[in-house]
């Protein structure tokens, strides 16, 4: 089951369930990473049973895509005996690689499945070429670098490691205030172990100070009466600098978000896919059009930053709120297009006469005014206001299934 060497940089998308998995495939991912029901760092997104994993892998391979299975927790003693069975299922499902953080699990994979490609997780904390080379000697085919590295450091790792060793780096999504996800805050405060997939995200909470002789009197950490989100990191976005990431030697550009929505997976994957295609067409003249840069602002997100890629972060914390910015809602998803009409399933309320955007895989979104809105029985209606109702409307442009219909939040 040896992995074929990548011939061009890979867009690697997350999938927390089947809907998000299909979204990743539809909107241009070269590979998808997902979790089984054990050993994954997103306990809430452990949706892929052995049966579903086999189905996902079969579909991905039919479409020329790859599946990477996460087993990147730091397992305790009582979990180790379970790993051999987990590994046997992964091999039976023909996944393309395992993402591993623990050296013990690395050794067990080499013992029980010597042909299985191994990707060392960002949780391993790989920050130099010596560690990368050692892991390669131990059997790793890819290293997922720590998120705390600059482009210059990545380039040096690339220059001082075998070309056969693939390099992966996160380029988009939520950041962790701790070192590459190695955090104990959640364990201490809520008894939920972040290193075993159950982080309660206390870094997103609002904090006040309390003086011991004045119990019950809370003082803001700084002048805002709402308190301070002193640990809250902005989201990472390297879309405008995709060329610099590739030129530093990154083979796989990873999008964070197994707990995010299928809409997030669709839009962000689509943006990086199209940007990568533009880069590959003419690297020397690479420039991302404004409309494509705007796409990543049309999903639920925190303020963006570039993390450590350009050195020590200067503006990567956000102290005012731990919440998200959301400017668009999905109002429907296309099931089919036929004879000038979109047949779709409703996701949020919208009205005849609304102006929406249509986002099809691999295409630039276009605006459309909703006309001739009908329910599933063909009766003319003014409002699509029932969750998951079947509907149709006039659409002169043919679009494929799973096309997204979205609307600015201010208009919803």
* CATH assignment at residue 96: 3.20.20.70
CA angle 9, 98, 66 (to 5 degrees): 45
pLDDT score, position 74: 84
Listed in sequence order, the DSSP H helices in 4-93 are 18-26, 50-62, 80-93
Q: Name the DSSP class of 3.
A: P
In angstroms, the CA 72 to CA 70 distance is 6
Q: Say if residue 296 is in the same domain as residue 375.
A: no
Has residue 319 got a pLDDT over 60?
no
- Is residue 274 in a domain? yes
**pLDDT for res 329:** 94
Q: State the residue for tokens 């005849």.
A: 352
Segment 58-80 shows an average pLDDT of: 94
2 is a domain residue: no
Q: How far apart are CA 18 and CA 56, in angstroms?
A: 8
What length does the chain have? 412
Let me know if residue 94 belongs to a domain. yes
332 plus 301 within the same structural domain = no
Last residue of a domain, one of 273, 305, 337: 305
**Is the model's pLDDT at 357 over the cut of 70?**
yes
* DSSP helix/strand/coil, 190: helix
Is the pLDDT confidence value at 241 over 70? Answer: yes
Supply the pLDDT for residue 37: 83
Which is nearest to 116 in space by CA: 127, 105, 124? 105
Distances 8 to 4, 169, 279, 336 between C-alpha atoms, Å: 12, 15, 11, 33
CA distance 179 to 124: 10
- Contact criterion met (CB below 8 Å) for 301 and 268: no
Q: Domain check: are 164 and 37 in the same one?
A: yes
Specify if 228 maps to a domain.
Answer: no
Its domain, for residue 242, covers 10-177+233-305
Same domain for 380 and 238: no
Q: Read off the pLDDT of residues 79-115 as tens digits, 9 standing for 90 and up.
A: 999 999 999 999 999 999 999 999 999 999 999 999 9
Please answer whether residues 95 and 62 qualify as being in contact, where contact means their C-beta atoms are separated by less than 8 angstroms.
no
Nearest residue to 8 via CA among 285, 254, 277: 277
In this predicted structure, the answer to whether residue 274 has a pLDDT above a threshold of 60 is yes
Are 366 and 288 members of one domain?
no
Average pLDDT, integer, range 381-395: 96
Residue owning tokens 């599933």:
376
Domain co-membership, 136 together with 50: yes
Question: Could you read off the pLDDT of 140-154 as tens digits, one per residue?
Answer: 999 999 998 999 999
Residues 251 and 394 placed together within one structural domain of the fold = no
Residue with tokens 């075993």: 196
In terms of domains, do 134 and 267 share one?
yes
- Pair (257, 405) in one structural domain: no
**Helical H runs in 284-329?**
290-295
Q: Is residue 29 part of a domain?
A: yes
**pLDDT score for 41:** 55
**Which of 275-284, 309-318, 357-366 has the lowest average pLDDT?**
309-318
- 324-328: list long-range contacts, CB under 8 Å, 24+ apart: 324/300, 325/297, 325/300, 325/301, 326/299, 326/300, 326/301, 326/409, 327/297, 327/298, 327/408, 327/409, 327/410, 328/298, 328/299, 328/357, 328/406, 328/407, 328/408, 328/409
Burial-class residue 373 by CB neighbours within 10 Å (0-12, 13-18, 19+). buried
Distance from C-alpha of 147 to C-alpha of 125, rounded to nearest angstrom: 8
Give the DSSP letter of residue 179: B
Domain of 356, CATH number, reads 2.40.30.10
Instruction: Give domain status of residue 198, yes or no.
Output: no
- Is there a single domain that holds both residue 278 and residue 357? no
Tokens 């299934």 correspond to what residue? 401
248-275: burial string, b at 16+ Cβ within 10 Å, e else: bbbbbbbbbbbbbbbbbbbbbbbbbbbb
Identify whether 218 is part of a domain: no
Q: Which two tokens stand for residue 218?
A: 């809370």
Mean pLDDT rounded to a whole number for the chain: 88
Long-range residue pairs from 190-197, CB within 8 A, at least 24 positions apart, any chain = 195/41, 195/73, 195/74, 195/123, 196/41, 196/43, 196/73, 196/74, 196/75, 196/76, 197/35, 197/40, 197/41, 197/42, 197/43, 197/44, 197/46, 197/73
| pLDDT confidence tier of residue 42, bands split at 50, 70 and 90 | low
pLDDT given for residue 317 in this prediction: 66
| Total of domains in the chain | 2
Q: How is residue 307 annotated by DSSP?
A: T
Q: Which of 361, 43, 334, 23 is nearest to 199 (CA)?
A: 43
More confident residue, 264 or 186: 264
Judge whether 26 lies within some domain: yes
Please tell me whether residues 109 and 156 are part of one structural domain: yes
Q: What percent of the chain has pLDDT over 70?
A: 82
pTM assigned to the model? 0.86
Give yes or no for residue 182 having a pLDDT over 80.
Answer: no
Same domain, 282 and 337: no
């Amino acid at each position: 089951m040896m992995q074929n060497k990548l011939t061009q940089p890979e867009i690697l998308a997350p999938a927390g369930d089947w809907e998000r998995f299909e979204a990743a495939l539809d909107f241009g991912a070269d590979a998808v990473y997902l979790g089984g029901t054990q050993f994954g760092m997103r306990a809430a997104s452990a949706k892929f049973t052995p049966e579903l994993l086999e189905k996902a892998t079969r579909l991905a391979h039919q479409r020329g895509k790859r599946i990477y299975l996460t087993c990147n927790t730091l397992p305790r003693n009582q979990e180790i005996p379970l790993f051999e069975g987990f590994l046997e299922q992964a091999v039976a499902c023909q996944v393309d690689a395992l993402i591993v953080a623990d050296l013990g699990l690395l050794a067990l994979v080499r013992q029980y499945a010597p042909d299985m490609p191994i990707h060392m997780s960002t949780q391993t904390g790989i920050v130099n070429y010596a560690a990368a080379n050692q892991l390669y000697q131990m059997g790793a085919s890819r290293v997922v670098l720590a998120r705390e590295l600059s482009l210059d450091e990545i380039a040096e790792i690339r220059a001082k490691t075998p070309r056969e060793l693939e390099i992966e780096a996160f380029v988009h999504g939520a950041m962790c205030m701790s070192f590459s996800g190695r955090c104990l805050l959640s364990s201490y405060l809520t008894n939920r172990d972040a290193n075993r997939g159950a982080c309660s995200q206390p870094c997103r909470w609002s904090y006040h100070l309390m003086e011991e002789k004045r119990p019950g009197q809370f003082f803001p950490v700084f002048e805002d009466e709402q308190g301070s989100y002193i640990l809250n990191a902005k989201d990472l976005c390297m879309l405008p600098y995709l060329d610099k990431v590739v030129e530093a030697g990154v083979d796989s550009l990873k999008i964070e978000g197994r707990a995010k929505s299928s809409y997030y997976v669709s839009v962000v994957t689509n943006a990086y896919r199209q940007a990568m295609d533009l880069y590959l067409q003419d690297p020397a003249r690479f420039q991302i059009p404004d409309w494509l840069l705007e796409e990543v602002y049309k999903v639920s997100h925190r303020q963006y930053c570039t993390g450590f890629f350009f050195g020590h972060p200067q503006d990567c914390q956000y102290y005012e709120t731990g919440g998200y910015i959301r400017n668009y809602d999905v109002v429907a998803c296309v099931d089919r297009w036929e004879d000038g009409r979109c047949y779709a399933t409703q996701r949020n309320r919208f009205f005849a006469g609304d102006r929406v955007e249509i986002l099809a895989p691999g295409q630039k979104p276009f605006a459309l005014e909703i006309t001739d809105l009908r329910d599933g029985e063909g009766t003319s209606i003014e409002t699509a206001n029932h969750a998951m109702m079947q509907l149709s409307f006039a659409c002169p442009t043919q679009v494929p299934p799973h096309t997204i219909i979205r609307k600015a939040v201010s208009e919803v």
